[in-house]
């Protein structure tokens, strides 16, 4: 069986007619049996989708007629990592929540994967992981600072704690590059002098830099059914708790606090009884549907996760 192509893409660009793009994009993806999520906003496009080689090429051919500098990366999966296709209209294609931050106007300096090691090995460079805590937990770069955020909207508060007079050179990274574009634009607006970011993100680094030269430790969380990938973009070793959407290990699954489809050690003690009961009911419905050879409409894909 041919592998499923997983395409991650984005571009910051002026898109005043983004609402009118929604229906043509949704129609094309449905016709080609593409699944995943695309976000459209006045500031551009962002998303991850999956399909056959022919279907992804059809979508890409459509996109290049409107987006002339699309940041585009491919990986693969053994089976479809999404349940359905969604094209959503948003205020931002990645939500920082700070008005006036536009990477089209001001953005940090791009650094290719091949040059990244040299930059982050410099002791005078502050290395920032702009991702959320559950992502950082399963893998990050050497010397990287964890901002301990639960969402990207908390990043500006973290930046306020950094002494820009002490840290004149900052290098940041994220999964595919999009959060860093906006984060670098924000930091420049706050007076930081030299801000660099990894072009193509962690995924491009893991695809490009060989294991023996890598400064990456662990795996990279991805927002689809694979949950995580490693070097060479090979499938990782994490699953996902359907109760709290936190990545979990084999050890977590053997914990007395783990209940399939319900809870894990990360959420067991904080989960309200009514939510636990609802999760158990949902899991029973999924099991019954699977036993009948179908798929429960409320099923949660292995890698579905909050933004």
Q: Where are the chain's structural domains?
A: 4-89, 109-218, 249-291
User: Distance of alpha carbon 40 from its chain centroid, rounded?
Assistant: 16
Distance CA 229, CA 80 (A): 15
Residues 6+ apart with CB under 8 A from 190: 159, 164
Residue with tokens 């970011």: 197
Distance CA 168, CA 196 (A): 11
CATH number listed for the domain at residues 4-89: 3.30.70.100
Answer yes or no: 174 catalytic.
Answer: yes
pTM of the predicted structure, to 2 decimals: 0.89
162: left (phi over 0), alpha (psi -120 to 50) or beta: beta
pLDDT band at 294 (very low <50, low <70, confident <90, very high): low
For the chain, give percent helix, strand, coil, nearest 5. 30, 25, 45
Res 1: pLDDT: 53
Alpha helix locations (H) across the chain?
18-31, 53-63, 113-120, 133-136, 155-159, 178-189, 201-208, 250-253, 273-291
Q: Which one of 174, 220, 244, 267 is the catalytic residue?
A: 174
User: What's the mean pLDDT when you consider all of the chain?
Assistant: 93
Res 286: pLDDT: 84
Please state, for a pLDDT cut of 70, what percent of the chain lies above it. Answer: 95
- Given a cut of 50, whether residue 301 has pLDDT beyond it is no
CATH number listed for the domain at residues 109-218: 3.40.250.10
Average pLDDT of the segment spanning 179-187: 97
């Amino acid at each position: 069986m041919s592998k499923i192509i997983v395409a991650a893409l984005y571009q910051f660009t002026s898109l005043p007619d983004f609402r009118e793009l929604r229906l043509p994009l949704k129609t094309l993806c449905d016709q080609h049996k593409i699944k995943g999520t695309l976000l459209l906003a006045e500031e551009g496009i962002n998303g991850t989708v999956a399909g056959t080689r022919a279907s992804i090429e059809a979508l890409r051919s459509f996109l290049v007629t409107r987006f002339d500098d699309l940041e585009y990366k491919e990986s693969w999966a053994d089976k479809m990592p999404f349940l359905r296709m969604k094209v959503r209209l948003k205020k931002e294609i990645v939500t920082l929540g700070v008005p006036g931050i536009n990477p089209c106007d001001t953005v940090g300096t791009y650094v290719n994967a091949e040059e990244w090691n040299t930059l982050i090995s410099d002791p005078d460079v502050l290395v920032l992981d702009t991702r959320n805590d559950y992502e950082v937990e399963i893998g990050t770069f050497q010397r990287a600072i964890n901002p301990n955020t639960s969402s990207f909207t908390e990043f500006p508060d973290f930046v306020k704690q950094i002494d820009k007079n002490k840290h004149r050179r900052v290098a940041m990274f994220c999964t595919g590059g999009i959060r860093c574009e906006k984060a670098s634009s924000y930091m420049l607006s706050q007076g930081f002098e030299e801000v660099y970011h990894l072009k193509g993100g962690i995924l491009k680094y893991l695809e490009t830099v060989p294991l023996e030269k890598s400064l990456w430790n662990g795996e990279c969380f991805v927002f689809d059914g694979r949950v995580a990938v490693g070097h060479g973009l090979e499938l990782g070793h994490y699953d996902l708790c359907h109760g709290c959407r936190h990545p979990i290990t084999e050890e977590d699954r053997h914990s007395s606090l783990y209940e399939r489809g319900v809870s894990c050690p990360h959420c067991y003690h904080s989960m309200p009884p009514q939510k636990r009961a609802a999760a158990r009911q949902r899991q029973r419905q999924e099991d019954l549907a699977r036993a009948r050879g179908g798929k429960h409409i409320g099923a949660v894909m292995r890698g579905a996760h909050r933004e």
